[in-house]
Amino acid sequence: MKGSQQPCEDLDLQRVLPVFLPQSIVESRSWTGAFSRLLAPGVAMAWVIAENSRPSRYITPDKRQQWELQGVDWRAQALQNLRAVSGDTLETGALFRESGEPWLISLMYPDGLGPSRLLLTAKLAQLFPRGYRVALPEQNRAYAFTTELDREDVETVESLVQRSYQSGELPLSPAIFDPADLVDRSRD
């Protein structure tokens, strides 16, 4: 999801959503949006206001501070909004075992929030009850996959991630992470 860093006036909390960005972008001098560092090296989290007819806008530190002074848990609201826009099915594609069980899912949506859906950990834990890992090769594409991989599966995952990262329009990270790596490391 592309966005601008214009100040947001009269924001509708029902449209706040989390997004992942390269940490280098949010740490640049030109960045004016609110962000959080993550345990995932090179990846940061920011928040946008989704709008139908206008470009999305990033949440500014001033707006964040205003909400926090009012006691608004806008981060929790952003996750709730993400759950609402995501519906019941996370994956847009999958690779399956012979048993029919998915071992890898792709998250790439027209709304650009595929990687954001990696924050829906309860759904992912249901899909991969024995554990899973994640990759965010692009700002609009992510993968989640079981931790139970054979050598061929590992090679498939690594190849998918590297190809997506190298050929993507908005590269994010070539790394593979534990879900806990997507948790806030600091508050701006």
Backbone angles phi, psi at 87, to 5 degrees: 70, -160
- Full pLDDT tens readout for the chain, 188 residues: 444 444 444 457 888 999 999 999 999 888 988 899 999 999 999 999 888 634 478 998 888 888 888 888 889 999 999 999 898 888 899 999 999 999 999 999 888 899 999 999 999 999 999 999 999 999 999 999 999 999 999 999 999 999 999 999 999 999 999 999 998 765 54
Tokens of 30: 């030109």
DSSP 186: -
44 and 21 Cβ atoms separated by less than 8 Å: yes
Structural domain spans, the chain: 3-85, 86-182
| Whole-structure pTM value | 0.88
